[in-house]
């Protein structure tokens, strides 16, 4: 059987609804163009083979509004995955982690630990980052850094490092499996998702 035959025998990839939230007072006021939402979409489009239904939000650093937005994306919009960017430092207006914990059913501390481990390869101030990840219902919510370069590094990891450092997205598909979400299929050239063998579907041939 050829790769084309194999691909045609497989069902199409599951659709996934992803909420992306950029949190910035100045970008929300239009002082400068937001870079967080484009950075998230660029990386996820390259990493995922699934059809993606985007639900974007650009909001200021206000704890009640952030929490309300996260609730709306999960409870009303039905997002399977929500990624935020911005507002995770120690400054008084950086309240994204607190707002995220406000809506949490359960916390997933390993994501924040790994993001800080990756960022510490570059800057000692990575220990000031306070990103958290939580589960709400059947959705995973993850706080990411605010800079586009850091977003890509924490999601993808450092495959060229010695030894290689895995990014956090490698664990996202299986986490979403476990909480009842769609089966996410990654382009291994960008990100290799990890699942135990008994949780894997047949691999889809690479495009081209």
CB 103 within 8 A of CB 57: no
**Long-range contacts formed by 191-198: CB under 8 A, 24+ apart:** 191/47, 191/155, 191/156, 191/157, 191/167, 193/169, 194/166, 194/170
Domains in the chain, number: 1
pLDDT of 98-147, one tens digit each?
A: 999 999 999 999 999 999 999 998 899 999 999 999 999 999 999 999 99
Q: For residue 7, is it within any domain?
A: no
Checking if the pLDDT of 6 tops 80, the result is no
Checking if the pLDDT of 206 tops 70, the result is no
Domain with 31, as residue range(s), is 16-199
What is the C-alpha separation between 181 and 174, in angstroms, rounded? 9
CA-nearest of 154, 166, 149 to 36 is 149
Q: For residue 86, what is the domain's CATH number?
A: 3.40.980.10
Averaged pLDDT of the chain? 93
Q: For residue 67, is it within any domain?
A: yes
pLDDT at 5: 53
Q: For residue 190, is it within any domain?
A: yes
Encoding tokens for residue 3?
């790769």
28-47 average pLDDT score = 96
Percent of the chain past pLDDT 70, that is, above it, reads 95
Percent of the chain past pLDDT 90, that is, above it, reads 84
Checking if the pLDDT of 1 tops 50, the result is no
Checking if the pLDDT of 68 tops 70, the result is yes
187-205 average pLDDT score = 90
DSSP for 127-158? GG----EEEETTEEEEEE-SSHHHHHHHHHEE
Q: For residue 6, is it within any domain?
A: no
Residue 88: CB atoms within 10 A of its CB come to 24
């Amino acid at each position: 059987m050829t790769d084309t035959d194999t691909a045609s025998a497989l069902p199409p990839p599951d659709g996934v609804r992803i909420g992306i939230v950029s949190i910035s007072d100045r970008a929300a006021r239009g002082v400068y163009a937001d870079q967080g939402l484009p950075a998230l979409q660029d990386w996820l489009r390259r990493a995922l083979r699934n059809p993606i239904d985007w639900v974007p939000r650009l909001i200021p650093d206000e704890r009640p509004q952030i929490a309300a937005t996260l609730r709306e994306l999960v409870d009303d919009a039905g997002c399977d995955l929500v990624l935020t960017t911005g507002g995770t430092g120690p400054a008084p207006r950086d309240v994204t982690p607190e707002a995220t914990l406000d809506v949490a059913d359960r916390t997933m501390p390993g994501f924040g630990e790994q993001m800080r481990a990756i960022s510490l390869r570059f800057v000692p101030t990575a220990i000031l980052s306070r990103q958290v990840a939580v589960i709400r219902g059947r959705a995973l919510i993850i706080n990411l850094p605010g800079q586009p370069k850091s977003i890509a590094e924490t999601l993808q990891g450092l495959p060229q490092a010695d030894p290689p450092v895995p990014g956090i997205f490698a664990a996202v598909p299986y986490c979403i499996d476990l909480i009842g979400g769609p089966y996410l299929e990654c382009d291994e050239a960008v990100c290799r998702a990890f699942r135990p063998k008994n949780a894997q579907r047949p691999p889809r041939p690479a495009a081209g």
